[in-house]
């Protein structure tokens, strides 16, 4: 017995496999492959698929599962960390884009309801595309990545009231008040339902389902909750997508959210593919060809307008111009949920006929251009900053009004105040090393400055910022940010402004190392390489390998791993090389505490080599380091002494240095 739907699914899968294989070999985005599959297989293309309505149903399931996974991944704690980007940046971006689209639509003669609805459509961006690109480029934790994520989260939330308002925009004005009241009542009922389900119902069900230890039952239970809540919201006049998001939100507050997400993701990926294929099926190729010039002009206008408006929204968060431009370029496309809204608006007469086809063509074009545009965004932003008259906006606000930078010399400049930056600042403070921090998150700057940190707001990719931070007088510049393009620009600029400064760069990936050395970095620390070194070091420790063997092996691996990325002449000799030949010796640093045995004594009086077999290699006093000190060097409280000796003898010396004068004499 022939099943038409099964035949159509086979056609879609076979065609998409071939197209995606070619696209991936050409390193082109898979998203465009899905669109092309739909265009070729749909009724406006080769007409290979007959059951278009059934495919649209499968696509709607894909949207349901997509919103369900977004709801599961929605974290209240994560939202609080970027709350300003979500609430201020997101709301301003949506309002500005909706308002600009409304004015443009009214100028073209469309009605009020249609104009507002078009504003809704164009204010949304693609969460699926943008987040995937940010993750591939390791930019999620960068300033523009966090801001982009915050705005996308707001868009994912605001889609809910947009869905609720869409029927009102297509209805009669006289029914507006009762409809709004009914909408508020439905919203209140949904909130009560979500609270009860989150607090008692779903945890009770999942607890007993998990108790059976059946993967099949757990999967069916999760999908049952998703589709059940979606059906419930649909039955009271709300959308399936809203119900799916609420179902995911309910499960996200349980302790089984990660397992649920892992089980649903494969289904989401498959049905989301059908969603993008179905969008391609809706596009009328003849309409696109006949109106190609208008489509290209409108798509370009949409991308430029959304870039500028999103950049303006990000600018309200007080980020430098380069960061705001990167945010704008990341959000310049139309989102996948705009298609869901467009289909819903079509049922209420808000978007029909040629207007609908024009929207489809423009939206698909903007989404298809995004995977090519985002990798070029850093270069485009840097080129934009060269426009005359924008120089005063490039550097951010370093220093703030009323804040003067301290007159530092021979100091350390730290770019970025994440985990690495915080630890480095703590070490510098403990070692009495003068330092200064540059950070682009204004909230972090304000909070840390209140704690006494010498931290200032500014974009270190810009020359005025580095010059104001005293780059010419600094000894070391350490870059610990996640924006790869910004890291390269900082390295090149710092080396050009101060050829003598020592540049230590942390990067995420090994593939960045060679380029950074070519730009002038003195030391490049690839995070993924060092993580691997730390892992195998701990493994060897668990297998009880001797400490000196582990250190030797680690030094050899680092030497071999870094050798391929740097020129032979820039590899300086280090104590690590010496330790390979003297495995029983160790170098360590002691802090002279007030009132202890060494406080006030000279190195000759302490007789370290005679009594302990330990050699003093350097003494750091009040920020100045004295290498190879003689016996007349007198130690004082808070001095740092660098010594070399056998580990056992160093332990004996440490024990003595911890005791006071009376205990030492005894």
pLDDT tens-digit series, residues 443-480: 788 888 888 888 888 888 888 888 888 888 899 999 99
Task: Give the C-alpha separation, 581 to 241, whole Å.
Answer: 66
In a domain, 398, yes or no: no
User: Averaged over 238-261, what is the pLDDT?
Assistant: 77
Do 539 and 596 lie in a common domain?
Answer: no
pLDDT of residue 96: 94
Does residue 567 register a pLDDT over 50?
no
Together in a domain, 487 and 636: no
Which CATH number does the domain housing residue 371 bear?
A: 1.20.1530.20
Tokens 């994520």 correspond to what residue?
149
Residues 78 and 196 in one domain: yes
Q: Is the pLDDT of residue 334 over 80?
A: yes
- What is the model's pLDDT at position 320? 80
| pLDDT for the residue numbered 568 | 40
One domain for residues 269 and 169: yes
Is the backbone peptide bond immediately before 399 cis, with ω within 30 degrees of 0?
yes
Distance of CA 62 to the CA centre of its chain: 25
Are residue 591 and residue 550 in the same domain, yes or no?
A: no
Q: Indicate the DSSP class of residue 500.
A: T
Reported pTM? 0.65
**Structural domain of residue 489, as residue ranges?**
412-578
Domain end marker among 526, 546, 578: 578
Same domain for 213 and 126, yes or no, is yes
Residue at 11 is within a domain: yes
Calculate what percentage of the chain has a pLDDT beyond 90. 14
- 48-62, 466-480, 560-574: least confidently modelled range: 560-574
Is 152 a domain residue?
A: yes
- For 277-287, write each residue's pLDDT tens digit: 888 888 888 88
In a domain, 399, yes or no: no
Question: What's the pLDDT at 465?
Answer: 84
What does the pLDDT look like over 25-49, one tens digit per residue?
Answer: 887 778 788 888 988 888 888 888 8
pLDDT reported for residue 211:
85
Considering the domain architecture, whether residues 345 and 454 belong to the same structural domain is answered as no
Q: What average pLDDT does the segment 352-370 reach?
A: 88
CATH number where 449 lies:
3.40.50.720
Q: 625 and 483 share a domain?
A: no
> 516, 547, 578: which is the final residue of a domain?
578
Is residue 270 included in any domain, yes or no? yes
SS (H, E, C) 425-480: HHHHHHCCCCEEEEECCHHHHHHHHHCCCCEEECCCCCHHHHHHCCHHHCCEEEEC
| Residue 160 predicted with pLDDT over 80 | no
Tell me whether residue 44 is in a domain. Answer: yes
CATH number for 619 = 3.30.70.1450
Number of domains in the chain: 3
Position 571 scores a pLDDT of 39
Asked if residue 404 is part of any domain, the answer here is no
Same domain for 341 and 219: yes
Distance CA 53, CA 278 (A): 9
**Straight-line distance from the first to the last Cα atom of the chain, in angstroms, rounded to the nearest whole number:** 100
Which of 348, 368, 384 is the last residue in one of the domains? Answer: 384
> Considering only CA atoms, which of 263, 324, 293, 341 is closest in space to residue 92?
324
Q: Give the Cβ contact number of residue 217 at 10 Å.
A: 15
pLDDT of res. 464: 81
pLDDT at 100 over 90: yes
Do 15 and 122 have their domain in common? yes
Structural domain contains residue 403: no
More confident residue, 425 or 232: 425
| Element at 625 (helix H, strand E) | strand 624-627
Q: Facing residues of 642 across strands?
A: 589, 618
Per the DSSP assignment, residues forming a β-bridge with 502 are 476
Statement to judge: residues 97 and 207 lie in one domain: yes
User: At 570, is the pLDDT very low, low, confident or very high (cuts 50, 70, 90)?
Assistant: very low
Q: Do 539 and 616 sit in the same domain of this protein?
A: no
Give mean pLDDT, residues 397-414.
64
């Amino acid at each position: 017995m022939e099943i038409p739907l099964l035949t159509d699914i086979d056609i879609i899968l076979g065609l998409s496999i071939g197209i995606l294989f070619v696209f991936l070999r050409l390193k082109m985005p898979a998203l465009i492959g899905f669109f092309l599959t739909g265009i070729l297989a749909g009724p406006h293309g080769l007409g290979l698929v007959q059951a278009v309505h059934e495919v649209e149903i499968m696509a709607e399931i894909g949207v349901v599962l997509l919103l369900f996974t977004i709801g599961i991944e929605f974290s209240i704690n994560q939202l609080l960390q970027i709350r300003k980007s979500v609430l201020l940046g997101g709301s301003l971006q949506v309002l500005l884009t909706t308002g600009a689209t409304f004015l443009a639509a009214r100028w073209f003669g469309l009605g009020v309801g249609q104009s507002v609805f078009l504003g809704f459509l164009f204010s949304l961006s693609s969460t699926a595309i943008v987040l995937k690109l940010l993750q591939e480029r390791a930019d999620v934790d960068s300033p523009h990545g966090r801001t982009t994520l915050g705005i996308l989260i707001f868009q994912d939330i605001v889609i809910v009231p947009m869905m609720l308002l869409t029927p009102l925009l297509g209805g009669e004005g006289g029914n507006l008040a009762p409809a709004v009241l009914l909408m508020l009542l439905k919203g209140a009922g949904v909130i009560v339902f979500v609270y009860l389900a989150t607090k008692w119902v779903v945890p009770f069900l999942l607890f007993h389902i998990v108790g059976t230890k059946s993967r099949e039952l757990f999967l069916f239970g999760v999908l049952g909750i998703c589709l059940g809540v979606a059906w419930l919201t649909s039955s009271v006049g709300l959308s399936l997508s809203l119900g799916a998001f609420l179902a995911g939100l309910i499960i996200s507050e349980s302790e089984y959210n990660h397992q649920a997400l892992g089980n649903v993701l494969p289904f989401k990926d498959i049905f989301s593919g059908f969603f993008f294929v179905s969008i391609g099926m809706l596009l009328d190729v003849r309409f696109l060809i006949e109106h190609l010039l208008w489509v290209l002009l409108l798509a370009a206008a949409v991308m430029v307008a959304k870039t500028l408006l999103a950049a303006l929204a990000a600018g309200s968060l007080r980020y430098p111009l380069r960061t705001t431009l990167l945010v704008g370029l990341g959000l310049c496309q139309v989102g996948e949920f705009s298609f869901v809204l467009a289909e819903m608006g079509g049922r209420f007469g808000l978007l029909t006929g040629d207007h609908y086809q024009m929207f489809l063509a423009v939206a698909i074009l903007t989404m298809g251009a995004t995977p090519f545009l985002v990798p070029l965004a850093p270069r485009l932003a840097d080129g934009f900053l060269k426009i005359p008259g924008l120089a005063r906006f490039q550097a951010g606000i370093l220093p703030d009004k009323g804040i003067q930078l301290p007159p530092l010399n021979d100091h350390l400049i730290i770019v970025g105040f994440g985990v690495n930056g915080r630890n480095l600042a703590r070490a510098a403070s403990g070692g009495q090393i003068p330092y200064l921090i540059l950070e682009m998150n204004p909230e972090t700057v304000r909070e840390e400055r209140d704690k006494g940190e010498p931290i200032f707001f500014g974009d270190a990719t810009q020359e005025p910022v580095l010059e104001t931070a005293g780059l010419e007088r600094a000894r070391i510049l350490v870059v610990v940010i996640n924006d790869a393009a910004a890291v390269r620009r900082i390295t090149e600029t710092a080396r050009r402004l101060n050829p003598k400064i020592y540049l230590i760069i942390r990067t995420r990936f090994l593939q960045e190392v060679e380029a950074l050395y070519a730009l002038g970095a003195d030391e490049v620390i690839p995070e993924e390489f060092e993580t691997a070194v730390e892992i195998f070091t701990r493994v060897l420790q668990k297998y009880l390998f001797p400490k000196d063997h582990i250190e030797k092996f680690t030094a050899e691996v680092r030497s071999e791993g870094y050798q391929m990325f740097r020129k032979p002449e820039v590899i300086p000799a280090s104590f690590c090389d010496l330790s390979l030949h003297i495995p029983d010796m160790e170098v360590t640093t002691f802090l002279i505490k007030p009132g202890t045995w060494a406080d006030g004594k000279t190195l000759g009086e302490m007789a370290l080599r005679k009594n302990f077999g330990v050699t003093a290699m350097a003494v750091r006093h009040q920020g100045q380091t004295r290498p190879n000190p003689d016996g007349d060097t007198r130690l004082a409280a808070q001095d740092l002494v660098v010594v070399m000796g056998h580990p056992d003898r160093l332990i004996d010396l440490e024990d003595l240095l911890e005791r006071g004068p009376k205990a030492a004499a005894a």
